[in-house]
Structure 1
Amino acid sequence: MRRFDMDWLRVLVFGLLILYHVGMFFVPWGWHIKNNEISLDLQWPMLFVNQWRLPILFVISGMGTYYAFGKRSAGQFAKERLIRLFIPLAVGMFLIVPPQVYIERIATGQFSGGYFDFWPAHAFSGGTYPDGNLTWHHLWFLPYLLIFSLVLIPVFSYLRKNPQARFLKWTAGMYSNPWKIFLLIIPLYLAEAFLEPFFPVTHALVGDWFALAFFLVLFFYGFLLIASGGRFWEFVARYRRIYLMCGIVGFTALIGIILLYPDSTWRHFTEAGIKVFNIWSWILAIFGYGSAYLNKPSRALAYANQAVYPFYILHQTITLVVAYYLMDLNWSVTTKFVILTVVTFGGSWLIYEFLIRRWKWIRPLFGLKVRRLNVDAYNNRNKELIQDIQLSKAKQ
């Protein structure tokens, strides 16, 4: 049974990711190129989003894995993951990402000449980025997701075949009150407290131990929360206001400790606890409000749900190319932000609609099935589920 709220959240969070990458052009944090005017105010909303945007994507991916596993054997699942993740990654690294490296190299004076002087002769030379030019840049999410999916196949197979497993019963027991589910932040805290100081996030896969551990746990949690029974969605919808208040308190405390206390051992361990509490609270709140208001089909969702993967692959290249031509102009940050946002979304849509979506031999290169989704079939799918949800709410 399809959860339309999961589809909506996936679309909305990936859309937010595009806005986040546009914002990276303007804030003081390290990125590929920078605007000639830096906005200090923009970093605060970006810090808020940065806390939960990637964690919730891994949780959603884990939830989707549960549903995907139900229709396939372990071998079929592994094959499907390789097709849906490795092929777009390879295509992205060969065609989509090199323009980003080229823009960075010419902006910093490390290369001169036209793009086809750079690609393919220099696009993959010198080793891996940042010293060399071979990189997956923003597509790092795909190899991490692929590795997690393959490594956890034995665990997922066991849990799918043993729905009465003691561990699943223990997890289901957390739905008895709104606070037990916070026990799940313990592994996240251990990673944040004891791995993050020694293994800063690089997205390079090799040696990226904190990110691997942290995101692997979140990916597994996504699978676990669904595998432990169908009560999860009702549970988070019921307590969504509590989790929203926890998120507000958590983020406020996080900002407070960052601004008021200097770096120290005490601050590190305290901040780690506040950080994972904040992340988990917002994830639960977002799922709760999604379950309450977004579990409904629509033609817009059917279209966007297909478009989101190609948009993710394409967007940062468009952003960087346009940003290069804007970076030295004496225009306001607001004007440049709007232009970058409109052109990034508009350019991604044009390429998706008129090149990727309509050509069956291009679709698999961007993670889509060969056949185009029948929108009406998507909208009609699981109508009984939606009616049951509405009937249940009416009875309540």
Structure 2
Amino acid sequence: MRRYDLDWLRVIVFGLLIFYHVGMFFVAPDWEWHIKNNITYEWIKYPMLFLNQWRLPILFVISGMGTSYALSKRTAIQFAFERTKKLLLPLIFGMLVIVPPQVYLEKFSKGMIEGSYFDFWPSHAFVGTYPVGNLSWHHLWFIPYLLLFSLVLIPVFIFLRNNPNNFILRTTAKISSTRFGLYWFIVPLYLIEAFVEPFFKETHALVGDWFVLINSITLFFFGFLLISVKETFWKTVEANRKTYIKCGIIGFTLLMLITTVFEDSYVRHFTEALIKVFSFWSWILTLFGYASKYLNKPSKILVYCNEAVYPFYILHQTITVILGYYLMNSQSNSFLKFSIMSIGTFLLSWMIYEFLIRRWFLIRPLFGLHNTKKISEPEFLHQSSRSVL
């Protein structure tokens, strides 16, 4: 069954990513980012912490759900080939063309390099790996992780698809049928948060990034499981969405209280880990519940946005960094800068997508889009259900 609410959630969450990265330009210096405004603010980290707790986890869950659609009518080899084409090609193109301006402006603004951009690219842009060198995937780190998870879990997903009455799916259906049964999913998330996170700093470098790898592949797998039990999951989250949002509010409030009042200790760590996973899982269930209630309906706007979201994701941070570079030392007030960067990122991303990517058939595959001259609405809706993001 088509789930339009998943498409809406994907579009909304990636839209929030633009505001989040603009916020990184203004937040206090202890939140490291590529460039910073001449005036930063401590208080911005609180709304960003709220977004940060569930923003990436829900994307991995949604991606796992999308994988179920993509694999439903494909062999393992067909799925692996399509997923590699749609993820690896945009990643390589992004690392060669989209990301280098971010690296250049960051290092140029800090006095680490000299000369024009074309002195930097291509002669120095691919020498060494960032941050010591210059080659990086920056914000595109989500793509190689998603590709890895998709390929590694193919045997498991094929088994689950071909054996719908297996123990794992029967258990998932059972715990998904009750209001608080869905909270059993936080048990492995808590163990990862409590016993893996302290030993592995989040790097997004893939190699050695064990906490992010284990945590993210678990969420990705959960997404596949939840979509596989079909209406059992959706009926539960929709019916109990008000309970979940209350749990989310309580969880995030307690999390902020613990992190700001109590000093670091073993007791605080294990307590914080439990409340953290309880909080973000509650918000994920909340979002699924409200989306199921109000967003599970077709829309021409959704058709357009669902195709545009992948190119927007690839483009947006480079545009944000470029705008930020020219505004960082301006004496304009921060609200004006925030508005220019947010609106400018959306507008420029849309212009590049609409007038270049969407219409140029040789460019479309570089941004993960089908290379077809014309897609009718019903056909596109069918294709978008297999979105890689």
TM-score past 0.5 threshold = yes
Residue 278 (structure 1) shift: 0.5
Residue 373 (structure 1) shift: 6.2
Give secondary structure in 1 for the equivalent of 2:231. coil
Residue 56 (structure 1) shift: 0.2
2:107 corresponds to 1:105: yes
2:154 corresponds to 1:142: no
The letter for the 2-side match of 1:345 is: F
Structure 2 distance, partners of 1:78, 1:129, is 29
**What is the root-mean-square deviation of aligned Cα atoms in Å?**
1.3
What are the equivalent positions in structure 2 for 1:58-73 lying under 5 Å apart? 58-73=60-75
- Asked whether the equivalents of residues 298 and 379 of structure 1 are also in contact (C-alpha less than 8 Å), the reply is no
| 5+ long unaligned stretches in structure 1 | 383-396
Give per-residue Cα distances to partners, 1:50-107, cap 9 Å, x unaligned.
0000000000000000011002110000001101100000000000000000000101
Shift in alpha-carbon separation, 1:378–1:296, aligned structure 2, 3 A: farther
The letter for the 2-side match of 1:316 is: Q
Displaced runs of 4+ in structure 1, greater than 3 A? Answer: 372-376, 378-382
Per the normalisation by structure 1, the TM-score is 0.94
Structure 1 distance, partners of 2:203, 2:163, is 37
Per the normalisation by structure 2, the TM-score is 0.96
Q: What is the match of residue 22 of structure 1?
A: 22
Q: What is the match of residue 345 of structure 1?
A: 346
What are the equivalent positions in structure 2 for 1:1-396 lying under 5 Å apart? 1-28=1-28, 29-125=31-127, 127-371=128-372, 374=375, 376-377=377-378
Give secondary structure in 1 for the equivalent of 2:197. coil
Structure 2 distance, partners of 1:183, 1:233, is 16
The letter for the 1-side match of 2:40 is: I
- Asked whether the equivalents of residues 303 and 381 of structure 2 are also in contact (C-alpha less than 8 Å), the reply is no
Give per-residue Cα distances to partners, 1:252-293, cap 9 Å, x unaligned.
000000111011111111000000000100000000000000
Structure 2 distance, partners of 1:201, 1:124, is 23
| 5+ long unaligned stretches in structure 2 | 384-389
Give per-residue Cα distances to partners, 1:115-136, cap 9 Å, x unaligned.
00000000011x2111110100
Give per-residue Cα distances to partners, 1:136-176, cap 9 Å, x unaligned.
00000000000000000000000000000011101100133
Structure 2 distance, partners of 1:372, 1:364, is 12
Q: What is the match of residue 388 of structure 1?
A: none
Quick one: percent identity of the two aligned structures?
A: 61
- Asked whether the equivalents of residues 244 and 282 of structure 1 are also in contact (C-alpha less than 8 Å), the reply is yes
Structure 2 distance, partners of 1:299, 1:248, is 34
Structure 1 distance, partners of 2:211, 2:39, is 33
Residue 347 (structure 1) shift: 0.6
Q: What is the match of residue 385 of structure 1?
A: none
The letter for the 2-side match of 1:82 is: T
What count of residue pairs does the alignment treat as equivalent?
381
Q: What is the match of residue 393 of structure 1?
A: none
Give per-residue Cα distances to partners, 1:342-367, cap 9 Å, x unaligned.
11011100100011000111100000
Give per-residue Cα distances to partners, 1:208-255, cap 9 Å, x unaligned.
000000000000000000112432111110010111101000000000
Structure 2 distance, partners of 1:194, 1:327, is 40
Give secondary structure in 2 for the equivalent of 1:25. helix
Shift in alpha-carbon separation, 1:234–1:378, aligned structure 2, 3 A: farther
Structure 1 distance, partners of 2:79, 2:374, is 20
